[in-house]
């Protein structure tokens, strides 16, 4: 999923509207806003006009699906991205909620044992972060010992519903430095992301079985091209702005 530039898109849409909206306001001496927005948007939202109102709340509720279809068609083709974007954002919340409800159902959790296993696995930061997020979303009680991870949890919560799409490999590897107990584990994760081939590499280059080892050399080259092109596009867009 590519990045969804929300602020940039809103400013761009506002600029387009202004190109015809401002002349319309000037030409109509303000009637465009009073009639177009005041009457046909605000008044129609709260009052019955021109016989378009319903006789009961049941009729209003029955007509609700029509508005969802109308909005989808009105914003086509951009609305095609809405279902996938919404699913992606709420999936993050689902993961945390599932953890919280699992902990809530286990009343006899031995937190000392949980902490010991996390320490043995060098995953205490990830454990603390997960518990802090679960506490915020599900309202569960967790031991005070995990309070030191509140700052990291606040950072994650602030970005959770950011409509920026999936994090790329660079962002993921940088974040691993924060949430992994040992920096060498984050380094190993970064090296694996750079050199270990994935399905994308296999689909991008079809090699015979005897040459599969070349994928380990091909992957960093492909990543260099991908991220190099992305970096140049960002520089070009900033320069044009």
State the residue range of the domain holding 226: 196-240
Q: What is the pLDDT of residue 187?
A: 85
Q: Which residue has the higher pLDDT, 86 or 230?
A: 230
Q: What is the pLDDT of residue 239?
A: 57
Contact between 118 and 127 (Cβ < 8 Å): yes
Domain end residue (candidates: 59, 81, 103): 81
The first and second tokens of residue 158, run together, are: 């602030």
Q: Are residues 207 and 176 in the same domain?
A: no
Contact between 122 and 183 (Cβ < 8 Å): no
Is residue 180 in a domain?
A: yes
String of DSSP letters for 49-60: -TT---SSHHHH
Q: How far apart are CA 186 and CA 122, in angstroms?
A: 11
Q: What is the pLDDT of residue 1?
A: 41
Is residue 216 in a domain?
A: yes
> What is the pTM (predicted TM-score) of this model?
0.49
Q: Are residues 28 and 62 in the same domain?
A: yes
Q: Are residues 65 and 91 in the same domain?
A: no
* pLDDT confidence band for 2 (50 / 70 / 90): very low
Q: Compute the residue count for the chain.
A: 241
Q: Are residues 174 and 146 in the same domain?
A: yes
Q: Are residues 87 and 151 in the same domain?
A: yes
Domain end residue (candidates: 62, 81, 100): 81
Q: Are residues 175 and 117 in the same domain?
A: yes
Closest by CA to 122, choosing from 179, 187, 191, is: 179
* pLDDT confidence band for 238 (50 / 70 / 90): low
Q: Are residues 62 and 141 in the same domain?
A: no
Q: Are residues 122 and 139 in the same domain?
A: yes
Domain end residue (candidates: 65, 81, 97): 81
Is residue 191 in a domain?
A: no
* Per-residue model confidence as pLDDT tens digits over 208-225: 888 989 999 999 898 888
Helix (H, G, I), strand (E, B) or coil at 208: coil
Q: Are residues 178 and 205 in the same domain?
A: no
Average pLDDT over residues 115-129: 89
R_g (Cα) of the chain, nearest Å = 26
Is residue 1 in a domain?
A: no
Q: How far is CA 241 from the centre of its chain?
A: 25
Q: How far apart are CA 201 and CA 193, in angstroms?
A: 12
Q: Are residues 100 and 130 in the same domain?
A: yes
* pLDDT confidence band for 23 (50 / 70 / 90): confident
* Per-residue model confidence as pLDDT tens digits over 44-88: 766 666 666 666 667 767 777 777 777 777 777 766 666 666 655
Q: Are residues 92 and 162 in the same domain?
A: yes
Average pLDDT over residues 174-179: 76
Q: What is the tally of structural domains in the chain?
A: 3
Contact between 200 and 176 (Cβ < 8 Å): no
In the block, which residue shows the tokens 């010992």? 145
Q: How far apart are CA 63 and CA 68, in angstroms?
A: 10
Q: Are residues 137 and 66 in the same domain?
A: no
Q: What is the pLDDT of residue 214?
A: 92
Sign of the C-alpha dihedral computed for residues 133, 135, 136 and 137 taken in this order: positive
């Amino acid at each position: 999923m590519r990045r969804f530039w929300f602020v940039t898109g809103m400013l761009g849409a506002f600029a387009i509207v202004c190109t015809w909206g401002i002349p319309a306001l000037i030409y109509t001496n303000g009637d465009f806003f009073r009639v177009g927005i005041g009457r046909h948007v605000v008044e129609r939202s709260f009052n019955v006009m021109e016989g378009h109102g319903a006789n009961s709340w049941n009729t209003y509720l029955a007509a609700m699906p029509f508005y969802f279809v109308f909005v989808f068609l009105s914003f086509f083709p951009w609305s095609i991205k809405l279902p996938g974007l919404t699913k992606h954002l709420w999936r993050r919340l689902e993961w945390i909620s599932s953890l919280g409800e699992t902990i809530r159902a286990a009343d006899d959790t031995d937190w000392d044992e949980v902490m010991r296993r996390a320490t043995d696995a060098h995953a205490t930061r990830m454990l603390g972060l997960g518990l802090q997020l679960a506490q915020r979303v599900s309202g569960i009680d967790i031991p005070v010992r995990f309070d030191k991870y509140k700052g990291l949890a606040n950072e994650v919560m602030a970005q959770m519903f950011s409509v920026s799409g999936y994090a790329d490999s660079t962002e993921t590897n940088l974040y691993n430095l924060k949430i992994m107990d040992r920096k060498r584990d984050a380094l190993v994760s970064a090296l694996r992301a750079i050199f270990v081939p994935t399905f994308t590499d296999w689909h991008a280059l079809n090699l015979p079985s005897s040459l599969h080892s070349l994928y380990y050399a091909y992957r960093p080259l492909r990543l260099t091209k991908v991220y190099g092109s992305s970096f140049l596009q960002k520089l070009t867009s900033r320069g044009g702005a």
